[in-house]
Every structure is written in C-alpha cells, then in structure tokens.
Structure 1
Amino acid sequence: MDRWFWIGLGGAAGTLARYALSMWCEERFGAGFPYGTLAVNVLGSFLLGAIGEVAATTALLSPTLRLGLSTGVMGGFTTYSSFNNETLRLIHYKSLAAGLVNIAITLFGCLLAGVLGMVVARRLVAS
C-alpha cells in the first residue's frame, strides 16, 4: 500500500508540474505549436534517464522512491496522449510539415534527452 500512495502522490505532483510548464510555454511562445508538450516530454525523458541511471548504479534511491519518482512523478509529468492529439491537430488544421516537425523533434529530442540524463546522472553520482 505504501508504494501505491507514493506513486499516486508523485503522479499528482507530476501532473501539476506538467500543467504549470505547459501554461508557461504557451504564455511565453504562443499556442501555434505545442511547445509545452514538447518541453515536458523532453525534460521528462532527461529526468527519467537520470532517475533510471541513479537507481541502477547506486543505492541512493529505495525501490519505493524510484517508483514514486519514475512511475509517479514522471508518469504524471510526461504525456503521449497530448503529443498524439496535438500532432494530429497540427496535421489536420495547419500542415503535414508542422506535424512531421513535431514528431521528429519529439522523437529525437526525447531520445537525446534520455541519454543526456543518464550521462549527467552517472557523472554526478560518480563524483
């Protein structure tokens, strides 16, 4: 039951953080492109890579804390469904090119961010 609580609490925190970052991006960059969803997915990929690396290579994160951070916080923070919906809306209402740009930036940006998160975590933990 303890794990369920921390995953749920982390999910709520991640969801609120996603909403805050998305609204900030929309205010800062406008609503013409899904910058908020892109930002949360890239940042979330970086953080999940870092969390996974720390959990796999050290004893700094208990199994419960790892689940709370990865499944809870990062699960609530990142969002595939918003990415999917916004990409389809770009393709349907703007252009195929805008939709494809969003797909490419999200895919490669998230993969790169995940690797960078692992590398940064590895270097920080090794210090």
Structure 2
Amino acid sequence: MTPQERIAELTRELAANPASRQFYQLGELLRREGQLDQAVTVLRQGLSHHPRYVAAWVSLGRALLDLQKLAEAQAAFREALALDPQNPVAWRLLGEALLGLGERTEALHAFQQALTLV
C-alpha cells in the first residue's frame, strides 16, 4: 500500500470515528509525507479527544517545527513533557525549538535533559 493509499484509508476511518486514536497514525504519515498543515490539523483535532497522548504531542511539535512555527512547537513539546518528563525525544526537540527562538540557555538545558535520559 502506498503512503497516499494509507492516508486515504486512515482518513476514511477517522471520518467514521472522529474520536479514534488512528489520528496519530494519520497525522504522523501526513507529516512524513510533507503535508504539514494537514498533519497539524489532524493532530490538533485528535488531541482534543485524547489530550494525554504523548506521542501525538511530539508529532504535532515536529510538524510545527518543520513549519517554523517555533513558539507553537515549543508549546506542544512542553505539553508532551508535562505528561512524560522522561521523554528524551521531546526534550531534544524542545531544545531545537528554543534554539530557533534564540533562547540559548533554555535550549542548552533541554539538550542536557535529553542527554541524561538516553
């Protein structure tokens, strides 16, 4: 199955059940396929139903980071870390967002946190 076929399949599944946790798979696939705006929309809608889904917060942050929406990406990574403070990926990506925002001291702290967790 091609990525586009899988996107279509997941879109149909999500249309039939908007509260499905399949939103994460769809959002992540859209992000990896470069459909960043669509990924952000899907992930935000899904997180409204599943606000404790850490991986989805990280995926949302990644899509926002790719869109250079650094403040929004930072907020998504902080949501993930509020739920799972031991998540090294969220710490590393938070560091990237903070660095892009010129927050070097905070970025260094985030990178150090990531390193202590791997």
In terms of fraction of residues, the more helix-rich structure is 1
TM-score by length of 2: 0.31
Q: Which has the larger radius of gyration?
A: 1
TM-score by length of 1: 0.29
